[in-house]
Structure 1
């Protein structure tokens, strides 16, 4: 028997055991490997009877008696676990172990393992695949002790409740039962309301999800509207700036218009003045005297401006010349005859020794006086009538000064520079009066 136990225990020591909670391997010491058996002792010291049994016993009786004695002694000596008064399990002797069940010769290693695992299941209240280590076992025992104390407290409470109920009278009991029924009905009503609330909550959750989707859509629309609003505000600002610019331009144009309304267009376009014996139109001198040298180019330009002035005046009064057509072309202006044999009369002179004896140039100046006389006659018909200060004699080509009674020829042939220049001066003086008359007679033209 000793050899069999030793073999079984040594076999158990070679198999590793894991703790169910911490999953750490269980390390078996030499004392635990022998399961609390000191194999160094003699067989008599182990309290195992001899194999022959007591005298007077039969072999069968001796064998059975020895088995029972061995089981009792092994269980007594291997019980190294004790439970103190505080409910916690502790181990008094680390060299002892506990054997469960009968110690029979047919007990195998698997049955011993199942026994140890069953002990762990009993202690933990769970189905365990492996035994527990010391720390986990102590923790489990502390939890069980705490649960035990709680259960004892609840049991005492229940006992007091029962004693209190037994001590109540019938009236009180009936009252409490009625109150219990009322509470139960209230509970049923609240349960129904809770179900309604749950249904409402589900409907509210669906509505909330729809509201969130709608809110997201509205937020996107709001962001788009803010973007559109920003673009419109930017366009508005640009339009306002453009409007302010247009208003400034309009104000400037109105100012210019008012100034132009106060301005005489003819006087602004044609400025006539005198510088000693010479008449000047638009800064060009018309005529020449021995004391003042004037080029023919300047004289021709002055004639061009004078021709342009006469054409503008005739257009204003609506006059069509009868015998000549005046063509202003700057310093090369001329008159075209409207007779059967059209002839161009140059209103300019190229200069030279015989410049003052140029017949065509003289004819052109006489024709110019004819056109000027036609304008004078047309202007006298209007109201107020034009009255030129110097008379025109077209056939003789003369300008008469009523103040002195002298006549000045506009021809250059058989004439002096001073008298020719004086005739041109009188002619431009008449044009200056004509400008004032046109400004008064046709203020809006």
Structure 2
């Protein structure tokens, strides 16, 4: 079956375009701003060498600055026509907004790299110049005839090789375009619109700057010639302004020097203030420490004063206490004189036990020995031995021939009983001891009277009598006289004790 040649060519071109779109839809190109996968327009699939050279040289022509004030040159007209020709490259398909379009959301925007990131396409493969690309066509396509045994599958190895070379050619073209401008190619239609808006704003800004330059040039042209009066006045005014400027500069320099000095003075004052603040802080710290110490000392003083007052009261109370009166409590119990509750004496109707009488004499002898020690009195001829109920007085005699002391004689100041046979013997030894006691009491009384002549013993002692009553028990017909004499002994002893306690 024979195929029509025109129909065969149309079918082959359609299949070739479908294969081109399928190959490009696999993400060979990305927008260099938003990283969206792009599918090149069909018009870029069949670029001739002239179009490739035109695109490459067009960027170089755009780099040359146009004349600012002169009319548009012929080269610029040709450049404009060339741009029109280039814009027509992608105008074959009216459904496309630019040379590249998004391929049904094949690629998505890279959220990590963002807009304007690095290029991610593979490095270009250099096969020479960009215009050195061609398509291998079979002889049947060149002659316009198709043999019956020609295969109908249009995706041949030659087509695949041709498309690969075209992709490499487009990559080289994009590299050349990107190297000759500040814009990274390729771009999607939306990014192209954004770039076009930016270039439009720059163009308007350049136009505005051009207008300013033209206005300034016109003003320069309108200025008067040199040597005119206006120029002279302006020169004078400039000279005056320069003089004022120099004077202002000098004043500014002087002000800056003053400012520098003021800053140094301020720095010094700040340092001094800092030192004063530190001294003030140290002073307050010292004051607080001293205040705390003063408060502590005041509390300690109050405590010591309170203790002193307490101890003084205690001392005053103790001073009022007569220890001797507490130790030797002398009083009376009816007709009897007592010492520490012990009765000293004996009546017919009130028989006092001799053990009590002996104990009373022992306490009395102890009182007399204590007073002698208190007054630092040196007793002559006697030595007291207070031994409770068995107290004794040792009598020491001196040998008139040799002047030495004889052996002491012990006098018993106690009695064992009241029997008639023993009365003569026991009471005689007791009488001797009681007479010796009166002798000792008389010596102490005379010593006290010598210390203070205004003092006198209540009852006078004369050998064995005191207050006119004999101290001898064996000589008294009745016990009442002896009991009275014992009572007088206790009275004189109390009087001597009172004097000794005041010393």
Smaller-chain TM-score bracket: 0.5 to 0.7
After superposition, the C-alpha distances for 1:25-75 in whole angstroms (9 at most, x for unaligned) are: x3234xx3534669xxxxxxxxxxxxxxxxxxxxxxxxxxxxxxxx99984
Q: Which residue of 1 aligns with 2:345?
A: 287
Root mean square deviation, CA, Å: 5.5
Residue 423 (structure 1) aligned to one of 485, 498, 503: 485
Residue 467 (structure 2) aligned to one of 380, 400, 407: 400
Change (3 A) 1:177 1:231: closer
Q: Which residue of 2 aligns with 1:314?
A: 372
Measured after TM superposition, the shift of residue 255 of structure 1 is 3.8
Change (3 A) 1:400 1:77: closer
After superposition, the C-alpha distances for 1:159-214 in whole angstroms (9 at most, x for unaligned) are: 555555655842564367447756986898899899999x99xx99xx99xx7xx9
Q: Which residue of 2 aligns with 1:411?
A: 473
Change (3 A) 1:76 1:133: closer
After superposition, the C-alpha distances for 1:376-432 in whole angstroms (9 at most, x for unaligned) are: 3333434424332323233xx33334xxxxx24343687655443222111112223
Residue 382 (structure 2) aligned to one of 318, 324, 335: 324
Q: 3-state SS of the aligned residue for 1:273?
A: strand
Change (3 A) 1:111 1:438: same
Change (3 A) 1:120 1:416: farther
Q: Which residue of 1 aligns with 2:235?
A: 174
Measured after TM superposition, the shift of residue 141 of structure 1 is 3.8
Residue 29 (structure 2) aligned to one of 17, 32, 43: 17
Scaled by the length of structure 1, the TM-score of the pair is: 0.61
Residues 379 and 385 of structure 1 are in contact (CA less than 8 Å); yes or no, is this contact kept in structure 2?
no
Q: Which residue of 2 aligns with 1:48?
A: none
Report the Cα distance in structure 2 between the residues aligned to 1:368 and 1:335, rounded to whole angstroms. 8
Residues 180-191 of structure 1: pairs in structure 2 closer than 5 A? 181=242
Residues 39-438 of structure 1: pairs in structure 2 closer than 5 A? 75=86, 77-80=88-91, 93-94=95-96, 97=99, 105=133, 109-119=167-177, 125=182, 128=184, 131-157=186-212, 159-160=214-215, 163=218, 166-167=222-223, 169-171=230-232, 173-174=234-235, 177-178=238-239, 181=242, 237-258=295-316, 270-289=328-347, 298-315=356-373, 318-330=376-388, 333-339=391-397, 340-348=406-414, 357=426, 359-394=428-463, 397-401=464-468, 407-411=469-473, 417-435=479-497
Report the Cα distance in structure 2 between the residues aligned to 1:171 and 1:234, rounded to whole angstroms. 86
Q: 3-state SS of the aligned residue for 2:96?
A: coil
Measured after TM superposition, the shift of residue 238 of structure 1 is 4.7
Report the Cα distance in structure 2 between the residues aligned to 1:267 and 1:104, rounded to whole angstroms. 149
Aligned length: 376
Measured after TM superposition, the shift of residue 92 of structure 1 is 7.2
Q: Which residue of 2 aligns with 1:34?
A: 42
Report the Cα distance in structure 1 between the residues aligned to 2:461 and 2:179, rounded to whole angstroms. 153
Report the Cα distance in structure 2 between the residues aligned to 1:301 and 1:324, rounded to whole angstroms. 21
Change (3 A) 1:116 1:363: same
Select the structure with the greater relative contact order (CA < 8 A; seq sep ≥ 6).
Answer: 2
Report the Cα distance in structure 2 between the residues aligned to 1:194 and 1:10, rounded to whole angstroms. 79
Report the Cα distance in structure 1 between the residues aligned to 2:379 and 2:462, rounded to whole angstroms. 17
Scaled by the length of structure 2, the TM-score of the pair is: 0.55
Change (3 A) 1:286 1:358: same
Residues 32 and 187 of structure 2 are in contact (CA less than 8 Å); yes or no, is this contact kept in structure 1?
yes
Report the Cα distance in structure 1 between the residues aligned to 2:240 and 2:32, rounded to whole angstroms. 51
Change (3 A) 1:170 1:428: same
Measured after TM superposition, the shift of residue 276 of structure 1 is 1.0
Change (3 A) 1:409 1:383: closer
Unpaired stretches in structure 1, ≥5 consecutive residues:
39-70, 82-90, 402-406
